[in-house]
Amino acid sequence: MAKRAAIPGTDHSTTIHRDEVAIIKAISHTEIVTKVEPLYIRWTGTTKTRLCLQHTSSEMVQAWLFLGHAKRMLLIGLRPRATMQVLQQALAMALRHFRVDVQIRAN
């Protein structure tokens, strides 16, 4: 039996949607992003496809990627002096093919 490929940046092989791996790769290839670390999954029921960003520190952003019936926590590392607005615009451009709405959540 073939082993399933792991999600980039982790040993996890459980995916919540067929586009999840491609979306995570697109996020990681964004110029302003230094690292993407996929974490845990929460099952939510049907949701709109979106990426909700929340500022945690000057070099790290916490994000929830909502896909299908679940959401995945992502930690996104940023280049120095990156702003949330620049990150939102860059990710919106990178994820437009997947029709992912990128939002900034207030703290």
Does residue 55 lie in a domain region? yes
| Phi/psi at 16 (5° precision) | -100, -10
Does residue 2 lie in a domain region? no
> Tens-of-pLDDT digits for all 107 residues of the chain?
444 556 665 666 677 778 888 999 999 999 999 999 998 889 888 889 999 999 888 889 999 999 988 899 999 999 998 899 999 999 999 999 999 999 998 76
Does residue 45 lie in a domain region? yes
Does residue 3 lie in a domain region? no
Does residue 7 lie in a domain region? no
Q: Number of folded domains in the chain?
A: 1
Residue 60 structural domain: 20-104
Task: List the structure tokens of 96.
Answer: 């437009």
Does residue 5 lie in a domain region? no
Pairing mode, strands 33-43 and 70-78: antiparallel
Rounded CA separation 53/98 (Å): 17
Rounded CA separation 38/16 (Å): 12
Does residue 1 lie in a domain region? no
Q: Look up the pTM and report it.
A: 0.85
Residue 57 in contact with residue 84, Cβ under 8 Å? no
Does residue 95 lie in a domain region? yes
Rounded CA separation 50/103 (Å): 7
